[in-house]
Amino acid sequence: MTVATLSEVLQKAKKNNYAVAGLVVLGWEDAQCYAEAAEELNVPVILQAGPGCRANTPVAILGKMFRYLADQSNCPIVCHLDHGYTKEECIEGLDSGFTSVMFDGSKLPLNENIEKTHEIVELAHNYNVSVEGEIGFVGYNEGAESQSTDPNQAKQFAELSGCDAMAISAGNVHLQTNKSSSIDMKVIKDIENLTNIPLVLHGSSGINYDLRRNIANNTNVCKFNIGTELRKTFGDSLREEISNNPTVYDRIQLIKSTLPKLKESSKKVIENITLFNH
């Protein structure tokens, strides 16, 4: 059994100058694929159930599914509830076996974000569960614009919320399909100089591989969230399979045919930020 908390894997990553991939799960097949990829590379991975995933599958089922995969694995697997927007969502994750929850109060005023994150931290730590908080707003491709994290506010948030990891905004953008994000290294370094907490970059599909590796090896960014890049691999592969096999109607057969390419892509993502210095 190698279920792990977020704090356990990120503190080790921070100490040894590498990062861990937070891979966005949409269902059983990709979750299993990501767990197998990490197992084959013998490195930790974070399986993440975001709002889209939770809208399709009950949280209690996802918690059992993630814990089952962790129990079968020889490498540490974090079972993470991503972007919980309310205390109730986070509590549901705590009660469903998740070993890490993220409270996203990034749209709230600073003091309210600190207060609500701290409240969830106190609850989660009673369960031996880690908490990721967020300060600064990470925008969306062709949507709401990012608001870069203020380093002094990050310091205040890290000290007063008590969270185990802190997501920041430094040019990273959600749902970006090309690797054109321009990361503000000064913001990251300024935050790093004022805090001692593992940092997280959401929207990392838009960050090119060389830059990801550089950030992982030279800053306190210990977690990169990757979703769009792997969804694109899956979608492109599925379209190809459907086009090439017009008489196949079994969705399980069609989905399974995409998994070798998805595993190849996920291993590339994991290797880039974790295996290089692991």
Q: What angle do CA 277, 262, 42 make, to 5 degrees?
A: 35
Measured distance CA(177)–CA(123) in Å, rounded: 36
Provide the pLDDT for residue 175.
62
Measured distance CA(192)–CA(186) in Å, rounded: 10
**Measuring CA to CA, which residue among 183, 234, 185 is closest to residue 207?**
183
Amino acid, single-letter form, for residue 259 = L
Provide mean pLDDT across the span 147-175: 91
Provide the pLDDT for residue 278.
58
Provide the pLDDT for residue 180.
61
- Fold entry, domain 3-229+262-275: TIM Barrel (3.20.20)
Domain boundaries of the chain, sorted by first residue: 3-229+262-275
Question: Quick one: what percent of the chain has pLDDT higher than 70?
Answer: 93
Measured distance CA(184)–CA(203) in Å, rounded: 14
Report pLDDT digits (tens) over 210-267. 999 999 999 999 999 999 899 999 999 999 999 998 899 998 999 999 999 999 999 9
Residues with Cβ within 8 Å of residue 118, at least 6 apart in sequence: 160, 161, 162
Q: Which residue has the tokens 């919980």?
A: 84
Secondary structure (3-state) at 184: coil
Provide the pLDDT for residue 141.
63
Provide mean pLDDT across the span 153-176: 90
Provide the pLDDT for residue 236.
93
| Mean pLDDT over each residue of the chain, to the nearest integer | 92
Is the separation of the CB atoms in 13 and 222 below 8 Å? Answer: yes
Work out the widest C-alpha separation in the chain, in whole angstroms: 60
Provide the pLDDT for residue 198.
98
Report pLDDT digits (tens) over 41-72. 999 999 999 999 999 999 999 999 999 999 99
Is the separation of the CB atoms in 204 and 172 below 8 Å? Answer: yes
CA distances to 8, 63, 119, 156, 190 from 195, in Å: 18, 31, 20, 9, 9
Provide the pLDDT for residue 273.
94
Among 70-84, 142-156, 184-198, where is mean pLDDT lowest? 142-156
Within 1-56, residue ranges assigned H as helices are 6-16, 28-41, 51-56
Measured distance CA(14)–CA(243) in Å, rounded: 45
**Measuring CA to CA, which residue among 110, 103, 105 is closest to residue 125?**
103
Q: Is the pLDDT of residue 94 over 90?
A: yes
Provide the pLDDT for residue 206.
83
Report pLDDT digits (tens) over 96-154. 999 999 999 999 999 999 999 999 999 999 999 999 999 987 767 655 566 789 999 99
Residues with Cβ within 8 Å of residue 209, at least 6 apart in sequence: 179, 272
